[in-house]
Structure 1
C-alpha cells in the first residue's frame, strides 16, 4: 500500500489530490499532511474535515516515519527541489508538483540523487489525465485521422486584468501543463520555436506564448492568450484522413460548494461538451460524429506510481520528458525577456 504524506495543504492538495486518492482506499492511505505552524494559524477548521489524517508541523515526524513510503511535495515552486531532496535523503519515494524544478540542472541533480538512493521520483503532471486530453488521446489512438499533421493546444482566457501583472513565471505556472501534454504524448521534439512575450509588459512578463514543437512532418502548436473573448477549442487535431475538435472543459468541476472536503463528480459529461470527429473511412465515405468525453481522473498518476514502486513498472512521466519540458520553459523564458 502507498502510505502518503503531503508537504503543503493548499488548493492543489484539496482539489486535485485528496478527492482522487480517496477513491483508492485499497491501495493508498494518507497518513500525514505537513504544514508550517504559521500557515495553520486561523485555518484550523479545514484540518478537522480530514479526521483520519494527522496534521503536523514537525517535518522530522513525517520524514522519520518508516511506514511512509511516498512524499508528495505541494509547496510553492521555489521549495520543490528542497523538499524533494529531503524526502530522497530519507529514503522516501516522491511525487513533486509542477514545475518539478526551477531549472534543468536542478532536475538532473534530483534524478541523480534518486537513482543513487534507489527511490522513485516523478513529476506530478496530472493534467495528462484531463478529460479533454484523455479524449484526444483516445481519438488519436484509433488511427482514424491517419498520419497526424498538426495539433493545436489552447489555454485561452479573457482577463484584461493581466495588464497589471508584472514579472516572469507564467510559463512555469501555467504553460507547463500544455507543453507537458504534448511532450508526454509525442516525446522530445525535433525542434522548438518560441514566441513568448507580453502585450502589456514586454520584456517583463511571459503571459502570451505561442510555442511550436516539430515532430517530423507534424507540428504541435501550444498557445496561451489572455485576450481571447470568444471561446476557442481546447484542441484541434488534423491528420491526412480527418480532423478532431475538442471544446474547452478546464478542470472537472467540484460539486456544490459547501464546508468540508472537496467532492468531484465522476459522472459522464453531457453531449454539448463532446468533441467533433470528421474523417474519411476505409470505403472513402465521409464520417462525422460526436465523441463522448473521457472521465478526468488525476488519481491515475498514483495508479502508475503504485505499479512503479511495487511492480517495477515504467514511470508514466519519464525523466527525459521532465527535462525536455524544463528546457522548453527555459528557452521560452529567455525569449520573453528579450521581447521588449
Structure 2
C-alpha cells in the first residue's frame, strides 16, 4: 500500500486525480492539505470525500510517517517550495505541470531528490489520454508507412475572454508538447510561431510550434479562437492518413464528485484510418478508441517507488518540455515588437 497526500484541492485534484485513484487498491489517499484562506466559503466539497482527512497544517502532512508520496497541485509559483519541503522530510513528490517555473529550479528539485534517494516526477498524465493512446496504437502498427506529418490540436473558442498574461503554453500546450516529445524525443529543430493576438507582446494566446525530425514534422497547435470542432490528431504518412477527435470521458458534477468513464467511447468518435497495404489494396477503417485512465501513471510511479522500476516520466523529458515552454513565451513577447 502506498499512502499519499495532496497539496491543494482545486480542479486538478478533483477532476484529474481522485476519480482515477478510486480504482487503485494499492494506493490510498490519506490526507489533503489546504491553506486556511482557501477554505473560506468552500468547505462543503470536503464532505464529498469522507474517507480523506483534510488539514490546514502542512507540518502535519510532512510529519506523518505513513505518507510516502506528496502530490503537489498548486499554482506553479509554489511548486518548488512545496517540493523541497516534502523531499527534505523524506517524501517522494509528484508535481503538477508545469513542474517548475524554470529549468534551473526543476534541476534543483531533481538534484535534491537524487541526493536523498527519493523520486521527484512531473504529473504528465495526458500520456494516458484515450485519444493519444489510440494515436500511438496506429503509429506502432506501421500501416501509415514513413510518417511525414503529425498535427496535435488543443483548441477552444473563447476569444472575448483572452486576457493579458502568459498561460496558454503552460496551461494547455504543455500536455500536447509532452505527448509528442514522449514519442519522438529531442527534435533536430524547433520553429516557434507563438503570438499575442489580443495583447501584443503580453500574452501567448496563439501557439503553433513545429518540431522537425528529418522527414517528419510534428506540430502543436493551441488557440482560443477555434469555433469549429477540429480533430485532436491528424497524421499523414507515405502509405496513409489517420484522424482522431478528442475523447470525452468525464461527468463533472457541481454538487458532487467527478465520475470518470472507463468504458470504450461510442464508435461514432473512433479514429478514421485510410491506407494502402503492401499489396496495393486500399483500406478504410474505424480504429477502436483506447480508454483514458490517468491512474496508469500512478501504477507506474508505484512500481518506481516500491520496486525501483524506471520512472514513467524522465527528468530529461521534463527539463526539455520546460525549455520549450519558456522559449515559446519569449517568442510571444517578441511577437508584439513590430505591431
TM-score for both structures, normalised by structure 1: 0.96
What residue in structure 2 maps to residue 285 of structure 1? Answer: 281
Per-residue CA distance 1:290-327 (angstroms, 9 max, x = gap): 01111100101101101111121111111111001011
Q: How does 1:98-117 map to 2 (within 5 A)?
A: 98-117=97-116
Per-residue CA distance 1:113-151 (angstroms, 9 max, x = gap): 110011011100111111111110111111111221110
Per-residue CA distance 1:149-186 (angstroms, 9 max, x = gap): 110001122212144x1122221111111111111111
Classify the secondary structure of the residue corresponding to 2:312: coil
Q: Distance in 2 between matches of 1:289 and 1:22?
A: 35
What residue in structure 2 maps to residue 96 of structure 1? Answer: 95
Deviation at 1:258, TM superposition (A): 6.0
Per-residue CA distance 1:73-109 (angstroms, 9 max, x = gap): 0011111111111111111111100000011111111
Classify the secondary structure of the residue corresponding to 1:301: helix
Structure 1 gaps of 5+ residues are none
Deviation at 1:241, TM superposition (A): 1.4
Q: Distance in 1 between matches of 2:227 and 2:42?
A: 37
Q: Distance in 2 between matches of 1:158 and 1:262?
A: 24
Q: Are 2:250 and 2:258, in contact at CA under 8 Å, matched by a contact in 1?
A: no
What residue in structure 1 maps to residue 218 of structure 2? Answer: 220
Q: Distance in 1 between matches of 2:300 and 2:310?
A: 8
Q: Distance in 1 between matches of 2:158 and 2:58?
A: 39
Q: Are 1:2 and 1:306, in contact at CA under 8 Å, matched by a contact in 2?
A: yes
Of 162, 172, 175, the match for 1:174 = 172
1:332 and 2:328 are equivalent in the alignment? yes
Q: How does 1:55-70 map to 2 (within 5 A)?
A: 55-70=54-69
Structure 2 gaps of 5+ residues are none
Q: Distance in 2 between matches of 1:307 and 1:140?
A: 27
TM-score for both structures, normalised by structure 2: 0.96
1:294 and 2:290 are equivalent in the alignment? yes
What residue in structure 1 maps to residue 230 of structure 2? Answer: 232
Classify the secondary structure of the residue corresponding to 1:223: strand
Q: Distance in 1 between matches of 2:66 and 2:308?
A: 20
Q: Are 1:154 and 1:223, in contact at CA under 8 Å, matched by a contact in 2?
A: yes
1:320 and 2:316 are equivalent in the alignment? yes
What residue in structure 2 maps to residue 263 of structure 1? Answer: 259
Q: Are 2:206 and 2:223, in contact at CA under 8 Å, matched by a contact in 1?
A: yes
Q: Are 1:150 and 1:237, in contact at CA under 8 Å, matched by a contact in 2?
A: yes
- Tell me the C-alpha RMSD between the 2 structures: 1.2
User: Bigger shift: 13-22 or 168-177?
Assistant: 168-177
Q: In the comparison of the two structures, how many residue pairs are matched?
A: 336
